[in-house]
Amino acid sequence: MARLLPQLVTDAAARDAAHDAVVMDGARTSYGELEAAANQFARSLHAHGVRRGDRVALWLPKSHAAIVALYGAMKVGAAYVPVDSGAPPARLAYIARDCQVAALVTVANRADAIDEALAERPPMRAVWLADGPAERPTCAGVPAIGWNALAAESAAPFDCPALEDDLAYVLYTSGSTGEPKGVMLTHRNALAFVDWAAKTFTLTHADRLTGHAPFHFDLSTFDLFAAAHAGAALYPLPQRLAPFPAAVAKAWSEQRLTVWYVTPSTLVLLLSHGGLERLDLSALRVLLFAGEVMPVPHLRRLMSLAPHARFANLYGPTETNVCTWYEVPAPPGNDTPLPIGRPCPYDDVLILDEALRPVPEGAPGELWVRGASVMKGYWGHPERTALALQRIEVTAGLVDHAYRTGDLVRRRGDGLLEFLGRRDHQIKTRGYRVELGEIETTLLAHPAIDEAVVLAIPDPEITHRLRAVVVARSGAQVIEAELQQHCARTLPRYMVPETIAQADALPRTSTGKVDRRALAGVWSAPPQSPWSGS
């Protein structure tokens, strides 16, 4: 029998059906209930023609129903496609069309927006409304089905007609050419990481995990599937609390959560505004962080607040999930950047130069990754996939597909890998991965704009703040607020530049490229600078 992600819930339910699977908003779903509801949703999907190999989009706030939906989608043999719940309808529409979703799960108050955004609709079979009965017969021209309709379906085990190398989920990330790209990940990819993580961090049914990351962010695959692997309880963070560090810290302390998995930006905010010093953190057993560079002074403070807990830095782009890790043995004595550590046992890493030759020991190079967690490719983009996944010689005589991360690293004398930076314009803000090129392309789509550059200005609390400089078409008048609104129509909020200044021309390097360094310098210059707007 194929080993697939939904089996983790089936097994947990078989061991202890009454144990908490999901605790959120004052409600509890047990593993038995989750298994039954996922079977019902799988049957509802199947009854409407959703089959193995299809995609099921999820565009709704984190909830018990959203978790039922993703397991139900996988049970029918489809891949779930989580779309940022806060993203504008235009982004949902792009993703739904790009990967031709067969079904969409959302909530009732978004149905009108979906009607409008998907007027030119993908071949969807139906739209499920996860927060109650459907009060309308259709949505985007296909049947609208209320969540109450699932009760009519059998909750008996639904045999998952899929194999390990079938897609389990497709995660869309920012794309430098202006369009998000769908990272295709299989059950085998996910389980390589989940099996290792559950074992390495010794998860048991007694654990309670934070569900901080949204489902379109790959940190959520640990929360969801490592919890199910262990039969542990997941505490998804309600959207209402997420922006409030004091509320998040208090909730996690009171719920006595044992395993936290968050971005460094979140930890920095919890430390600076969450009041962690006054809270009881005695239940915290494992604190994992990933997604960006963890500032060492903050880590030291955290370790002093929870001296009994294990701390580990996990590294890996969405395309490989976690591929290297470093467990912090003791509070760092100095501020040397934290290493990203050693490869996880299911992957190999290579450090190569531009000509794809291994660099000398200790020299900087680009990190390539091969192994069980490496993605299948980008949905619908064989040419992008071919650039990112190349067949290279891994060791003498052995050739395999390896993923080119774009991250520059070096191997230290002690064998640990150290992250040095990016070789392109990909940045992190609040843990989100952002291609500056995607924002620039969006700005350039505005009729009044001739040129646009987006800069990431380092920020101690949220990693980077985004600033744009634009050159208007001659005679055109541009208004900052209008450009921001233009961006917000298609981009997630965290990708909209906080300020957009107008310039007569952009500074160039000798090779004719936009001089980003000069522009970044201008931002700290006094307001009378020529770039401060006109």
Partner 1 sequence: MSATDTEAAIRQFLLAEVFYDRDLQNLRADENLIERGLLDSLGILKTVEFCEAHFGITIPDHEVLPDHMESVRAIAQLVERRRTVPPR
Is residue 458 close enough to count as binding partner 1 by CB under 8 A? Answer: no
Report the Cα 466 to chain-centroid distance in Å.
19
Neighbours of 25 (CB within 10 A): 13
Asked if 113 contacts 120 with a C-beta cutoff of 8 angstroms, the reply is: no
- Smaller CB distance to partner 1: residue 77 or 431? 431
Give me the helices (H) in 209-288, please. Answer: 219-221, 227-230, 245-254, 264-273
User: Exactly one of 243, 329, 413, 475 binds partner 1 (CB under 8 A); which one?
Assistant: 243
Residue 170 Cβ vs partner 1, minimum distance, rounded to whole Å: 23
DSSP 152: G
- Smaller CB distance to partner 1: residue 324 or 490? 490
User: Exactly one of 17, 247, 356, 457 binds partner 1 (CB under 8 A); which one?
Assistant: 247
Binding mask 425-444 for partner 1 (x = CB under 8 A): -----x--------------
Is residue 279 close enough to count as binding partner 1 by CB under 8 A? Answer: no
430 phi, psi to nearest 5 deg: 50, 35
Q: Residue 495 corresponds to which amino acid?
A: M
- Smaller CB distance to partner 1: residue 396 or 481? 481
Segment interacting with partner 1, rule: CB under 8 A, options 146-154, 376-384, 419-427, 479-487: 479-487
Is residue 274 close enough to count as binding partner 1 by CB under 8 A? Answer: yes
**Binders of partner 1: how many residues, by CB under 8 A?**
27
- Smaller CB distance to partner 1: residue 39 or 442? 442
User: Exactly one of 256, 357, 423, 493 binds partner 1 (CB under 8 A); which one?
Assistant: 493
Q: Give the 3-state secondary structure of residue 523.
A: coil
User: Exactly one of 7, 85, 220, 321 binds partner 1 (CB under 8 A); which one?
Assistant: 85
Segment interacting with partner 1, rule: CB under 8 A, options 205-213, 218-226, 406-414, 482-490: 482-490
Is residue 242 close enough to count as binding partner 1 by CB under 8 A? Answer: yes
C-alpha distance across the termini of the chain, in Å: 67
Neighbours of 298 (CB within 10 A): 16
Segment interacting with partner 1, rule: CB under 8 A, options 97-105, 241-249, 293-301, 326-334: 241-249
User: Exactly one of 200, 255, 390, 484 binds partner 1 (CB under 8 A); which one?
Assistant: 484
Extended strands (E) in 99-160: 103-106, 126-129, 138-139, 142-146
Going by C-alpha positions, the residue among 177, 175, 60 that lies closest to residue 128 is 60
- Smaller CB distance to partner 1: residue 273 or 300? 273
User: Distance (Å, rounded) from C-alpha 8 to C-alpha 11?
Assistant: 5
**Sign, CA torsion 194/198/203/330:** negative
Residue 485 Cβ vs partner 1, minimum distance, rounded to whole Å: 5
Binding mask 323-352 for partner 1 (x = CB under 8 A): ------------------------------
Going by C-alpha positions, the residue among 193, 221, 222 that lies closest to residue 372 is 193
- Smaller CB distance to partner 1: residue 234 or 462? 462
Q: Give the 3-state secondary structure of residue 530.
A: coil
User: Exactly one of 51, 360, 461, 517 binds partner 1 (CB under 8 A); which one?
Assistant: 461
User: Distance (Å, rounded) from C-alpha 332 to C-alpha 304?
Assistant: 11
Binding mask 374-413 for partner 1 (x = CB under 8 A): ----------------------------------------
DSSP 351: E
- Smaller CB distance to partner 1: residue 499 or 532? 499
Tokens read off for 2: 């194929």
Burial class of 415 by CB neighbour count within 10 A (0 to 12, 13 to 18, 19+): exposed
Segment interacting with partner 1, rule: CB under 8 A, options 6-14, 351-359, 412-420, 489-497: 489-497
Segment interacting with partner 1, rule: CB under 8 A, options 32-40, 326-334, 335-343, 486-494: 486-494
Q: Residue 75 corresponds to which amino acid?
A: K
Is residue 255 close enough to count as binding partner 1 by CB under 8 A? Answer: no
- Smaller CB distance to partner 1: residue 24 or 496? 496
User: Distance (Å, rounded) from C-alpha 14 to C-alpha 362?
Assistant: 50
Tokens read off for 500: 């957009």
Segment interacting with partner 1, rule: CB under 8 A, options 165-173, 229-237, 243-251, 439-447: 243-251
Give me the helices (H) in 76-186, please. Answer: 89-98, 111-117
- Smaller CB distance to partner 1: residue 424 or 482? 482
Neighbours of 357 (CB within 10 A): 10
- Smaller CB distance to partner 1: residue 242 or 520? 242
Asked if 495 contacts 174 with a C-beta cutoff of 8 angstroms, the reply is: yes
Asked if 65 contacts 58 with a C-beta cutoff of 8 angstroms, the reply is: no
Segment interacting with partner 1, rule: CB under 8 A, options 50-58, 163-171, 178-186, 480-488: 480-488
Is residue 462 close enough to count as binding partner 1 by CB under 8 A? Answer: yes
Asked if 262 contacts 213 with a C-beta cutoff of 8 angstroms, the reply is: yes
How far CA 153 is from CA of 18, 84, 133, 398, in Å, comes to 21, 29, 15, 50
Is residue 90 close enough to count as binding partner 1 by CB under 8 A? Answer: no
Residue 88 Cβ vs partner 1, minimum distance, rounded to whole Å: 10
Is residue 490 close enough to count as binding partner 1 by CB under 8 A? Answer: no
User: Distance (Å, rounded) from C-alpha 97 to C-alpha 361?
Assistant: 46
Residue 273 Cβ vs partner 1, minimum distance, rounded to whole Å: 4
For tokens 């000398």, name the residue: 360
In the complex, the residues that contact partner 1 under the rule CB under 8 A are 85-86, 239-247, 269, 273-275, 430, 461-462, 481-482, 484-485, 487-488, 493-494, 496
